[in-house]
Chain A
Amino acid sequence: DVKVTQSSRYLVKRTGEKVFLECVQDMDHENMFWYRQDPGLGLRLIYFSYDVKMKEKGDIPEGYSVSREKKERFSLILESASTNQTSMYLCASLLVGWDRYTFGSGTRLTVV
């Protein structure tokens, strides 16, 4: 089975800090995604990547950036964390031509 690992389950950061959320998948998937999950809003796409060094904005990219230097790793970066970025962040990967997204367990980020 594909495994998607997010480096932290819980993070607490201060306003203005630079925050890195890491995601690693072990099955050579081309596509990787970052979502944030908020009550009543479901999962909203922040950024996705379909290849190394390639990235595309999702629906809510403001305040975020991403990095994909290696195929297995997709990082989400909050350049200057703000309290409205307190949320659950979910990473997912997908093999091209398939519909079976595999999600990580999520990182619950609190910005104080």
Chain B
Amino acid sequence: GQQLNQSPQSMFIQEGEDVSMNCTSSSIFNTWLWYKQDPGEGPVLLIALYKAGELTSNGRLTAQFGITRKDSFLNISASIPSDVGIYFCAGQSYLQKLVFGQGTRLTINP
């Protein structure tokens, strides 16, 4: 099936640092989504992107839909302890199936 390559797989940062992660695909997607999963919970949607080139913010989070429609990035500014978790990118294609990246595990040292 389709695959997304998400990097990095893990990050260890200090509180207050900025974070950047990205996803690339060999396929074009119509929608890019970014999810966060807290420990013991299911993923929750953070940001949805619908147009190539679109840049969208949600508080300290900023995400962009790549011009080629084959990539996306997520930035988190001024990280805080509650940002800890696993972040997933996802591309949406026909039949509204989601294809997920491998996830980025974020750990923050206070």
Contact = CB atoms under 8 A, between A and B. Distances in A.
Interface of A: 4, 9, 31, 33, 35, 40-45, 48, 50, 56, 58-59, 90, 92, 94, 96, 99-101, 103-106
A105 B41 CA distance: 4
Contacts of A99: 31, 33, 48, 92, 96
Contact of B1 (A56, A59, A104): A59
A104 B33 CA distance: 18
A88 B95 CA distance: 24
A106 B39 CA distance: 11
Interface in B84-110: 88, 90, 92, 95-103
Nearest to B40: A105
B9 A50 contact: no
A20 to B, nearest CB: 19
Contacts of A42: 4, 6, 88, 100-103
B44 interface: yes
Contacts of B66: none
A33 B43 CA distance: 13
A90 B44 CA distance: 12
10 contacts: A41-B102, A42-B102, A45-B98, A45-B99, A58-B1, A59-B1, A101-B43, A101-B45, A103-B44, A106-B41
Contacts of A48: 95, 97
